[in-house]
């Protein structure tokens, strides 16, 4: 897959075992690139173009941008909706459906008996699976300690639940130690995720697995893979 921006000459080509690094020296350019990416993550129009074998792909279906690793939520709405869809399919498409119908019928009987006892004129709707999951507060449980491990857990869930495998991390070296970022490299290579580190400073973590592009303060593009 390739990621380009029409206002600059660089081309980010995601490859297994290679971390893409984009160093942006100008704060205004950095802000512009991040804001544009976040707009596209929300499904709005933007300038970034993601493609695979000549086909244009929707960025919000394939990428995740992480600006603040302290604000990650493994139980955000789209993650829970995907979880509920998978759980519903597992029940509806297997012998568990018989158990669910029996349980639903028993719950309805209990509710009707309670209504008869209190004597109020009330009504209720059908209990579907997603409403049931929400009522039980079904959600992902975090088992990790430390920011690097929690970040990896977040990436894993985004990949497994939503099918996202391109992760754009902003100024990661401001939050994690070099050895933690190196560990992140190893784990993402093993899991076949693609990383793009968007940084304001050039901090080398593991030169042999990094492909570096710099947009300097004069807006010139310097590509380490060229020349």
Which pLDDT score is estimated for 78? 92
Q: What pLDDT, in 10s, does the model give residues 159-216?
A: 999 999 999 999 999 999 999 999 999 999 999 999 999 999 999 899 999 999 999 9
- Can you list the pairs that 34-41 forms with residues at least 24 positions away whose Cβ atoms lie under 8 Å? 34/65, 34/67, 34/170, 34/198, 37/63, 37/65, 37/168, 38/65, 38/67, 41/65
Q: What pLDDT, in 10s, does the model give residues 13-23?
A: 999 999 999 99
Round to whole Å and give the CA distance between 6 and 31: 16
Span 2-74+145-223 CATH architecture: 3-Layer(aba) Sandwich (3.40)
Round to whole Å and give the CA distance between 110 and 180: 53
> pTM of this prediction?
0.88
Name the residue with tokens 């995740």.
64
Q: Where exactly are the structural domains of the chain?
A: 2-74+145-223, 84-135
Residue 227 confidence (pLDDT) above 50: no
């Amino acid at each position: 897959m390739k990621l380009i921006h029409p206002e600059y000459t660089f081309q980010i080509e995601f490859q297994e075992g290679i971390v893409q690094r984009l160093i942006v020296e100008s704060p205004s350019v950095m802000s512009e690139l991040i804001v544009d990416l976040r707009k596209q993550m929300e499904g709005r129009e933007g300038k970034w173009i993601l493609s695979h074998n000549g086909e244009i792909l929707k960025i919000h279906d394939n990428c995740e941008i992480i600006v603040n690793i302290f604000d990650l939520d493994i139980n955000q709405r789209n993650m829970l909706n995907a979880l509920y869809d998978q759980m519903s399919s597992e029940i509806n498409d297997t012998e568990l459906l018989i158990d669910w119908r029996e349980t639903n019928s028993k719950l309805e009987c209990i509710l009707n008996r309670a209504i008869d006892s209190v004597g109020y004129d009330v009504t209720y709707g059908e209990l579907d699976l997603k409403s049931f999951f929400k009522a039980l507060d079904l959600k992902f449980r975090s088992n990790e300690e430390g920011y690097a491990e929690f970040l990896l857990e977040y990436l894993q869930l985004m990949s497994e639940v939503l099918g996202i495998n391109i992760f754009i991390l902003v100024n990661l070296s401001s939050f994690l130690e070099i050895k933690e970022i190196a560990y992140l490299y190893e784990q993402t290579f093993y899991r076949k995720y693609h990383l793009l580190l968007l940084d304001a400073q050039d901090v080398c973590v593991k030169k042999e697995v990094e492909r570096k592009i710099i947009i300097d303060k004069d807006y010139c593009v310097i590509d380490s893979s060229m020349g």
